[in-house]
Amino acid sequence: MNGSSVADLIRQGVAAHNRGDLGIAETLYRSALEQDPNSADAMHLLGLIAHATGHLEEAADLIRAAISVNPAVAAYHSNLGNIHLSRKQPAAAERCLQQSLALDPDFAAAYNNLGLTYSAQGRFSEAADSFRRAAALQPGLGEAFSNLANALKDQGLLAEAEEAARAAISGQPGDPDHKARLARIVEMQGRHAEAAALAEAALAETPNSAALLLAHGIAMLGLGRPVRATQDFQRAMTMPTQMVEAPDYLREAISRQPGDDEHFARLRSAHESGRIRIEIDTEKLRDSHAPFRVEFYDTRAFILVFGCWVGAFAFLPLWPALATAGTVSLGHWLFGRGYVRRLMHAYALDKVVGSSRVWDQVWQVGAISLRDTVDGGVVDSPKGNWRLLVEDISVGNRVPA
């Protein structure tokens, strides 16, 4: 950085800032400010870094300093208003934004921020007007349309809100938050399946969007799918971007889930109808921790084969005895073992579908695999969610995981 001019340092800093390299950008801005302590641009940009990293008081001080050096820049006043809004000071934010618009009446970002300020004060009609003005000045500003959708939604104007949400996506088609907002607004109009489809399509592109997971979960609740919704809300809460609504929705989804007995009854019904095939790994039931044992079938077969050998040598000459016992052993090897395995599986299946307690125990052992015989979906124990598979089948439509 030695020998770089203030303008070069700021240009490099802005490039790093736009890439999301805030640490590098801050270092470059501070170097520019060291070279020129009166660089309003450096102060302003450092203020934006401080705002982005949650240092709101420092951010406000830096941008005030920039304004004191050059009060004629509309963006400085607009961004100071944004900081006041983050500090929950909407009246101060409004004054800054009005000053910004006095300097530049066609500044779309200032109108957008002013709309946010009005929304924070519950002045949704004025907010909508500001967002419309921002969108008219800069039609590609998806954020303005998205905020307009929120303001209209808060007024109960859902059809208009949906139109604005779709315009936001047209302006910024890669933004998952815009798509989540559209799904939420569609869901609020009772079009739960459409909302779910919108969220699913967007999740295929951005699977770790907390906003989309929340929107999908809400749609699932509307469709009577509390198990699927629970999974969505739990995933949303693990994402870096926290959705403050997620814990409340998670509690609601859990409260709406059927009890274990009803889940198990649905499972048995799906099994009896042939929709679910239950496969049991009987080898895992030989473990000492298994809830019941199946190896007595092997023991019984061994005793029968051994008895044939003893009987053959007791009552037949040597070669006929060997031939008879050998034939029995070969028959057991070729056919008997499979028959014994089928007996063990049938016995185990009767046990697990006969008792929810035994089912849970065998599931935890990892001995069960469920297959949806229609679409081929498979859920394996112990980590799979069998309740989700049963809910999917009960509702009649599988939803991509």
| pLDDT tens digits for range 141-165 | 888 999 999 999 999 999 999 999 9
Judge if 265 and 371 occupy the same domain: yes
Q: How many structural domains compose the chain?
A: 2
Q: Which of 224, 257, 290 is the last residue of a domain?
A: 257
With a cut of 90, say whether residue 91 has pLDDT above it.
yes
Q: Which of 214, 231, 257 is the last residue of a domain?
A: 257
With a cut of 50, say whether residue 185 has pLDDT above it.
yes
The answer as to whether 328 is a domain residue is yes
The pLDDT mean for the chain works out to 86
Judge if 207 and 283 occupy the same domain: no
The answer as to whether 253 is a domain residue is yes
Judge if 283 and 361 occupy the same domain: yes
What's residue 96's pLDDT? 96
Judge if 231 and 271 occupy the same domain: no
Judge if 282 and 252 occupy the same domain: no
What's residue 293's pLDDT? 57
The answer as to whether 272 is a domain residue is yes
With a cut of 80, say whether residue 263 has pLDDT above it.
yes
Judge if 245 and 301 occupy the same domain: no
What's residue 333's pLDDT? 55
What CATH number does residue 193 fall under?
1.25.40.10
Domain span holding position 327: 260-387
The answer as to whether 152 is a domain residue is no
For the ranges 215-224, 292-301, 351-360, the maximum mean pLDDT occurs at 215-224
Q: What are the C-alpha distances in Å from 349 to residues 5, 119, 279, 358?
A: 78, 60, 8, 10
The answer as to whether 3 is a domain residue is no
With a cut of 70, say whether residue 394 has pLDDT above it.
yes
The answer as to whether 215 is a domain residue is yes
Q: Read off the amino acid at residue 274.
A: G
Name 182's Cβ contacts closer than 8 Å, sequence gap at least 6. 149, 162, 165, 166, 168, 169, 198
CA distance 145 to 265: 48
What's residue 281's pLDDT? 81
Judge if 220 and 272 occupy the same domain: no
CA distance 205 to 177: 12
Q: Which of 228, 257, 286 is the last residue of a domain?
A: 257
Residue 400's pLDDT band, with cuts at 50, 70 and 90, is very low
Judge if 215 and 308 occupy the same domain: no
What's residue 387's pLDDT? 86
Of 57 and 383, which is predicted with more confidence?
57
Residues 206-258 have pLDDT tens digits of 999 999 999 999 999 999 999 999 999 999 999 988 888 999 999 999 999 98
The answer as to whether 233 is a domain residue is yes
Tell me what the mean pLDDT of segment 91-115 comes to: 95
Q: Read off the amino acid at residue 78.
A: S
Q: What are the C-alpha distances in Å from 244 to residues 241, 247, 312?
A: 10, 7, 78
Whether a cis peptide bond, with omega within 30° of 0, leads into 382 is yes
Of 312 and 6, which is predicted with more confidence?
6
Judge if 313 and 248 occupy the same domain: no
What's residue 331's pLDDT? 55
Q: What is the 3-state secondary structure (H, E, C) of the chain?
A: CCCCCHHHHHHHHHHHHHHCCHHHHHHHHHHHHHHCCCCHHHHHHHHHHHHHCCCHHHHHHHHHHHHHHCCCCHHHHHHHHHHHHHCCCHHHHHHHHHHHHHHCCCCHHHHHHHHHHHHHCCCHHHHHHHHHHHHHHCCCCHHHHHHHHHHHHHCCCHHHHHHHHHHHHHHCCCCHHHHHHHHHHHHHCCCHHHHHHHHHHHHHHCCCCHHHHHHHHHHHHHCCCHHHHHHHHHHHCCCCCCCCCHHHHHHHHHHHCCCHHHHHHHHHHHHHCCCEEEEECHHHHHCCCCCCCCCHHHHHHHHHHHHHHHHHHHHCCHHHHHHHHHHHHHHHHHHHHHHHHHHHHHHHHHHHHHCHHHHHHHHHHCCEEEEECCCCCEEECCCCCHHHHHHHHHHCCCCCC
pTM above 0.85, yes or no: no
Q: Which residue has the tokens 């302590």?
A: 37
What value, to the nearest 5°, has the Cα angle with vertex 171 and ends 114 and 11? 75
The answer as to whether 208 is a domain residue is yes
What's residue 309's pLDDT? 67
What's residue 352's pLDDT? 75
List the single range of 22-26, 198-202, 205-209, 283-287 with lowest mean pLDDT.
283-287
Judge if 232 and 296 occupy the same domain: no
Judge if 244 and 339 occupy the same domain: no
What's residue 330's pLDDT? 63
Judge if 195 and 299 occupy the same domain: no
